[in-house]
Amino acid sequence: MSKSRGVLGLFKHLDTVCNAAEKVRGRHDFKDHEVFSPTSYHEIEHSCAYPPSPVRWFTFVGAMTGTVTGFALALLCDWDWPIVVGGKTPGIYSLPAYVILGFEFTILFGAIATVIGVLVMCRLPNPKATIFDNRLTDDMFGIWVPGATVDGPQAKFLKEAGAVEIKATH
* Residue-level pLDDT at 97: 84
Taking 50 as the threshold, does the pLDDT of residue 77 lie above it?
Answer: yes
Q: Residues 104-128: what's their mean pLDDT?
A: 95
pTM: 0.75
* Residue-level pLDDT at 87: 77
Q: Residues 94-111: what's their mean pLDDT?
A: 93
* Residue-level pLDDT at 161: 96
* CA gap 11, 43 in Å, rounded: 15
State whether the Cα torsion 155-159-163-168 is positive or negative: positive
* Residue-level pLDDT at 88: 73
* Residue-level pLDDT at 2: 56
Strand partners, 169: 6
SS (H, E, C) 17-82: HHHHHHHHCCCHHHCCCEEECCCCCHHHHHHHCCCCCCHHHHHHHHHHHHHHHHHHHHHHHHHHCC
Q: Classify the phi-psi angles of 86: left when phi > 0, otherwise alpha if psi is within -120 to 50, otherwise beta.
A: left
> Of the candidates 34, 44, 40, which has an alpha carbon nearest to the alpha carbon of residue 9?
34
Q: What is the pLDDT of residues 119-135, one digit of tens each?
A: 999 989 888 888 889 99
Q: What is the DSSP letter of 145?
A: E
* Residue-level pLDDT at 1: 46
* Residue-level pLDDT at 152: 95
Long-range contacts of 53-58 (CB under 8 A, 24+ apart): 53/121, 54/117, 54/121, 55/114, 55/117, 55/118, 55/121, 57/117, 58/113, 58/114, 58/116, 58/117, 58/120, 58/121
> Of the candidates 16, 1, 4, 13, which has an alpha carbon nearest to the alpha carbon of residue 158?
16
pLDDT band at residue 109, thresholds of 50, 70 and 90?
A: very high
Q: What is the pLDDT of residues 5-63, one digit of tens each?
A: 999 999 999 999 999 999 999 899 999 999 999 998 999 999 999 888 999 999 999 99
* Residue-level pLDDT at 119: 95
